[in-house]
């Protein structure tokens, strides 16, 4: 019977989506009676200490700039032999040698949270333009490193990344299962040469509010936009859209990033008629305070979001969503049912969609109610874990049969 699970990730901290998922799913599985251990390789300032979850640290073995030799092999092997897991659940690990080692030691599966297995740099977006890369990974990526700046321009570093990518592909194709959150990511993996039977789609989840929601829309239309404040998150497109909206609105921009100063200047000079509030980084648990004030949530990402958890969080709180139609967003945002999809990078279309919801409160309310129903059916922890445990068992049984 499968009881012991070893989670492996570069980080064990409250950070990006993969790290937050790792922390949360570990707690939930522990509460279900599973013995959970964490193996990671990069420490951040904040150290998580969870009762009943054992952690192990092997320095710098899992990220892009990894070290891997006898010391790291011994460290990882010692952890696996001590924990004796029935299954190894891998997340953001970029070292192909670690993938090969772990899969030899125990049954192992991976959750591919982004584009690391279908793009050499994991971005799917060149740095010198806002167009999405639709090419399969290959030798031409080394050329694009110079023409589109989508890979390191240092030839030696670019070559190492390319070599690691190929080794990672070889190692991951030997795993019994690759889990992805959206059909969009599955299609990219298929284009990259992975086996259709190997890939399982298990969407992310969110918690529903403990109390039933009776939403009263604020008198001043209020927009929430949360996430990393980086170019690919498209907040500059939201601001361009706001410049085309005559009715005064209040906007909460939640998060931190390199674009904050630039966006503040733009807001001060171009959006003086609106009330723009930059909150900085906040705890995930504090988001509900802002959701309670929201007329709608806007997800203006211009890069292809692998999923977009902020959207289902909004829907769980009975808030309609407006987003650009990129990546896996359309798999949870049902256009004209739970929100509205705008054409990618078309800020005029985004403005029209925002105006439609702030000018029609009844429509916004009905979409919010519909969104909550979708979450209850498709995106709860129970739905996710049921499918996940089934994959765990399949992977464990497959290893037993091979032996």
Which whole-number Å values give the CA distances from 28 to 121, 143, 148, 284, 372, in the listed order? 32, 45, 42, 17, 22
CATH code, residues 222-378: 3.40.50.2000
Tens-place pLDDT, residues 196-209: 999 999 999 999 98
| Sole residue written with tokens 């009263």 | 216
236 CB contacts (<8 Å, ≥6 apart)? 259, 262, 263, 266
pLDDT of 204: 98
| Sole residue written with tokens 């969009």 | 184
Express as a percent the part of the chain with pLDDT over 70: 95
Evaluate whether 337 touches 372 at the Cβ level (below 8 Å): no
Mean pLDDT of 165-175: 94
Q: Enter the pTM of the model.
A: 0.92
pLDDT of 213: 62
Mean pLDDT of 143-154: 72
Say whether pLDDT at 403 is over 60.
no
* CB neighbours of residue 397 within 10 Å: 13
Domain ranges of the chain: 4-205+380-402, 222-378
Nearest to 10 by CA among 39, 37, 40: 40
Phi, psi (deg, nearest 5) at residue 4: -105, 125
Domain at 4-205+380-402, CATH homologous superfamily: Glycogen Phosphorylase B; (3.40.50.2000)
pLDDT of 1: 77
Tens-place pLDDT, residues 38-73: 999 988 766 677 889 999 999 999 988 899 999 999
Fold match between 4-205+380-402 and 222-378?
Answer: yes
Evaluate whether 375 touches 208 at the Cβ level (below 8 Å): yes
Phi, psi (deg, nearest 5) at residue 315: -60, -40
Tens-place pLDDT, residues 337-370: 999 999 999 999 999 999 999 999 999 999 999 9
Tens-place pLDDT, residues 96-119: 999 999 999 999 999 999 999 998
Six-digit token string for 269: 């000079």
Tens-place pLDDT, residues 236-294: 999 999 999 999 999 999 999 999 999 999 999 999 999 999 999 998 888 989 999 99
Nearest to 375 by CA among 344, 333, 325, 335: 333
- Taking the CA atoms of 122, 128, 133 and 135 in sequence, report the sign of the dihedral they define: negative
Helix or strand (DSSP H, E) at 130: none
């Amino acid at each position: 019977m499968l009881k012991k699970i070893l989670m492996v990730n570069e980080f064990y901290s409250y950070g990006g989506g993969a790290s937050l998922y790792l922390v949360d799913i570990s707690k939930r599985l522990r509460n279900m009676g599973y013995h959970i251990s964490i193996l990671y390789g990069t420490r951040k300032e904040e150290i998580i200490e969870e009762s009943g979850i054992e952690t192990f640290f092997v320095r710098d073995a899992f990220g892009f700039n990894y070290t891997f030799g006898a010391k790291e092999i011994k460290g990882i092997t010692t952890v696996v032999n001590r924990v004796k897991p029935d299954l190894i659940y891998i997340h953001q690990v970029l070292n192909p040698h670690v993938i090969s080692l772990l899969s030899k030691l125990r049954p192992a599966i991976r959750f591919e949270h982004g584009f690391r297995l279908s793009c050499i740099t994991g971005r799917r977006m060149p740095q010198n333009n806002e167009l999405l890369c639709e090419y399969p990974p290959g030798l031409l990526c080394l050329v694009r490193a110079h023409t589109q700046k989508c890979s390191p321009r240092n030839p030696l570093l670019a070559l190492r990344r390319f070599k690691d990518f190929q080794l990672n592909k070889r190692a991951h194709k030997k795993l019994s299962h690759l889990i992805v959150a959206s059909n969009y990511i599955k299609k990219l993996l298929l284009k990259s040469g992975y086996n259709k039977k190997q890939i399982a789609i298990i969407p992310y989840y969110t918690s529903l509010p403990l109390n039933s929601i009776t939403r009263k829309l604020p008198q001043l239309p209020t927009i929430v936009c949360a996430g990393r404040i980086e170019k690919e998150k498209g907040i500059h497109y939201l601001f361009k859209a706001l410049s085309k909206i005559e009715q005064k609105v209040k906007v909460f921009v939640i998060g931190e990033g390199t674009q904050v100063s630039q966006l503040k200047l733009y807001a001060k000079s171009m959006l003086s008629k609106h009330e723009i509030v930059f909150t900085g980084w906040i705890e995930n648990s504090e988001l509900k305070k802002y959701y309670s004030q929201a007329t709608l949530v806007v997800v203006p990402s211009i890069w292809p979001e692998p999923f977009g958890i902020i959207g289902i969080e909004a829907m769980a709180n009975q808030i309609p969503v407006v987003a650009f139609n990129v990546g896996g967003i359309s798999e949870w945002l049902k256009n004209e049912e739970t929100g509205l999809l705008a054409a990618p990078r078309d800020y005029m279309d985004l403005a029209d969609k925002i105006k439609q919801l702030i000018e029609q409160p009844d429509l916004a309310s009905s979409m919010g109610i519909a969104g909550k129903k979708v979450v209850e059916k498709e995106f709860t922890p129970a739905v996710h874990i049921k499918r996940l445990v089934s994959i765990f068992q399949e992977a464990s049984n497959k290893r037993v049969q091979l032996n």
